[in-house]
Amino acid sequence: MPAFEIVADAGDTANVFEGTVSSITASDGDLLERDAGSTAWTVATAATDNWQEIAICQGAITTSLTLVPLIQVTPFMKIRATSTNDSSADDNGDRMILSSKSAVNNTGSNDTSEKSVFIQDAPSGATGDKKILGHFVLGGAGVDPDAS
46-95 per-position pLDDT tens digit: 999 988 999 999 999 999 999 999 999 987 899 999 999 999 999 999 99
| CA atoms of 35 and 81, how far apart (whole Å) | 22
Stated pTM of the model: 0.89
* 12 in Cβ contact with 20 (< 8 Å): no
Same domain, 18 and 67: yes
Task: Give the least confident one: 6-10, 56-60, 106-110, 135-139.
Answer: 6-10
* 8 in Cβ contact with 78 (< 8 Å): yes
User: Element (H or E) spanning 136, and its range?
Assistant: strand 131-136
Task: Establish if 45 belongs to a structural domain.
Answer: yes
- Domain of residue 37: give its range: 14-72
Task: Establish if 8 belongs to a structural domain.
Answer: no
Q: Collect all residues with Cβ–Cβ distance below 8 Å to 40 and sequence separation of at least 6.
A: 20, 21, 22, 34
Q: Looking at residue 11, what is its pLDDT?
A: 57
Same domain, 114 and 127: yes
Same domain, 62 and 90: no
Same domain, 95 and 65: no
Same domain, 58 and 81: no
Task: Establish if 86 belongs to a structural domain.
Answer: yes
Task: Establish if 127 belongs to a structural domain.
Answer: yes
How many domains does the chain divide into? 2
Same domain, 34 and 48: yes
Same domain, 32 and 59: yes
CA dihedral 50, 52, 53, 56 (to 10 degrees): -60
